[in-house]
Structure 1
Amino acid sequence: MDKQEITNKKNDSDSIREEGIKAGIFGSIKDRGEVDQVVRDRLMGGPRGPEKIIFKDGSAVIFKCDVRRYWKAQNPDTPIREAIVYQIDKIVGLGAVPKTMVIDDMIDNVRYDGSVQEWIKGAKDGYQIERFTYEEKKIFEQLKIFDFVIGNSDRHLGNVLFTGDDKLHAIDNGACLIIEKDEDILSFSDSIIHFFSRHVVHDMPHIVEFIEKFYYSKDMILNLIDKYIHDNTELAKLMVESRINYLHNMLKRDRPFSRKYREWRKGLQEEIQDILKKRK
């Protein structure tokens, strides 16, 4: 690569970062105000556990490090995935993912390079909830669609928070959008089939509208992934596009979704092949 190519690549990178700053994908912890304290006793394994950063005004965020700074192995860029999932949430109007962005700051001579997500005050996780309210149930059902599309492999009741105001908050969204290059893009949680087998989706307006919103926002979502996801980008796009197409095409057929895992895999495989043909 000659000097001009290096310069052009740097200019492109700078331009993308500037756009990302405007969009709220990248930011600085210093924009939030003065830091009061950092709680570092929430270590949960790995090179550096999540840390709670508390500001003078009483608000807080959860910081998760970019593990590539600590491990020599080639690990996926999970901080940007956290931030992109928040952006996708905004695009489709789910309203469940707390504000998330990527930072690279210094606090008390300690480097904070990773993602920060809004701390949800007074929340209980799903293990502490006995029943949903009507509105919580609707959002939780939409979250199943959301997690299926982004390929979230780590959704459990511990990372769904409830605040008693008919809202829920979907936290910890790094394990999505194809983490490993050899990941099976046809794999998904059985919970999505369980959900569709128990409901007539066509009689659930909030699900139909949500799937349609994904479909008509598809290009915007794919462009977002293409611009900011640097690891396994094409696979991530292929997974997301095929799943959106599959859900939308099943809706158009106006018949119940299959209750068989193999049928879902077959349908997704057909969508993937169709996309690959069109790319050629």
Structure 2
Amino acid sequence: MIEKSIFEKGVKEGIFGSIKDREIDHIEYDRWMGGPRGPEKIIFKDGSAVIFKCDIRHYWMADNPDTAIREAIVYQIDKIVGLGLVPKTMVIDDMIGNVQYDGSVQDWIKNAKDGYQIERFTDEERKDYERLRVFDFIIGNSDRHLGNVLFTDDGRVYAIDHNASLIISSDDDILSFPDAVVLFFSKNVVHDMPHIVEIIEKFHANKDKILDLINTYVQDNTEMAKLMVESRINYLYTMLKKDKPFPRKYREWRNALNEEISCILRRNKG
């Protein structure tokens, strides 16, 4: 659980916020999550809207991860590295009327289509999607699909749904990642892709800031999440600076990541 002092400080800065002072017009409910409280779209009087997701620890087993915090941290990481794809997200703990809103809220993207509705990407959309591949790999997002990538008519791309990131279970294999990552890096000359080089370099330059963020707010599987993120940043950056093609075999990636983790653990022990 988050200490009250941390929460009170976070209301004004960090991952926490509030919507209780905004005038609500109406709320639309959804139950597709399969639990007692699905996502709720909160529409404000000014026409803006957010999607509220409950903190699932209040509805399922006590050892479930704090998904609301993961949603908000991923938005903060997006800001740190300048990805610019994750809509504004924050953790709230508001009583509105007689209803408790304890979870995350994320800005609703109006007039957007998901990736399944898009026939082809523009060059800029493709670059954003490729940058997102790197982002998802580093944060360990296990739930990326075209349904949670949104496209708007003005050419913007948005990435939503990041609760399955930063290690969900202590049983998770922190070396696991989609095969598509290896395919992407091995089939492209990454060193000649400035948008990919830039995002890797930004992750490396801001590594300590990202790890501090995880250490401050993630209350479950914290060390595993930090190990995963740091080892993946280190590996991508090292390969980039070697100016060599990325390995084509999944096993080689796993072995390299495992070695990075061993180096980090040895360093921390020393």
State whether TM-score is above 0.5: yes
Q: Is contact 2:89–2:105 with CA below 8 Å preserved after alignment?
A: yes
> Which residue of the partner structure matches residue 150 of structure 1?
139
Q: Which residue of 1 aligns with 2:124?
A: 135
The 4+ residue runs of structure 1 with deviation greater than 4 A are none
What is the alpha-carbon distance in structure 2 between the residues aligned to residue 42 and residue 95 of structure 1?
A: 29
**% same residue:** 72
Q: Distance in 2 between matches of 1:48 and 1:14?
A: 25
State the match for 1:29 in structure 2.
Answer: 19
- Distance in 1, Cα, partners of 2:128 & 2:32: 30
**Alignment TM-score, normalising by the size of structure 1:** 0.93
Superposition RMSD on alpha carbons, in Å? 1.5
Q: What per-residue deviation string (whole Å, max 9, x for no partner) do you get for residues 197-216 of structure 1?
A: 22100000111111000001
1:119-143 per-residue CA deviation (whole Å, 9 max, x = no partner) reads 0000000000011111111111100
| Contact 1:98 1:170 survives alignment (8 Å) | yes
2:158 is matched with which residue: 161, 169, 179? 169
Distance 1:73 1:43 in 2: 22
Alignment of 1:1-280 (within 5 A): 13-31=3-21, 33-280=22-269
1:155 CA drift (Å):
0.4
Query: Separation in 2 of the partners of 1:225 and 1:41?
Result: 30
**Partner letter of residue 24 of structure 2?**
V
8 Å contact from structure 1 (residues 47, 71) kept in 2: no
* Deviation per residue, 1:140-172 (Å, 9 max, x gap): 110000000000000000000000222110001
Contact kept in structure 1, 2:20 and 2:96, CA below 8 Å: no
Unaligned runs of 5+ in 1: 1-8
**Letter of the structure 1 residue corresponding to residue 247 of structure 2:** S
AA partner of residue 30 (structure 1): K
How many residues align? The count is 269
Displacement of 1:19 in angstroms is 4.0
- Structure 2 counterpart of 1:106, which letter? M
Check 1:104–1:14 CA distance in 2 against 1; reply closer, same or farther (3 A cut): closer
TM-score normalized with structure 2 length:
0.96
Distance, in Å, in 1 between the alignment partners of 2:94 and 2:44 is: 15
Q: Distance in 2 between matches of 1:107 and 1:18?
A: 18
CA contact (8 A) 2:50 2:105 kept: yes
1:255 corresponds to which letter in structure 2? Answer: K
**2: distance between equivalents of 1:24 and 1:276?**
28
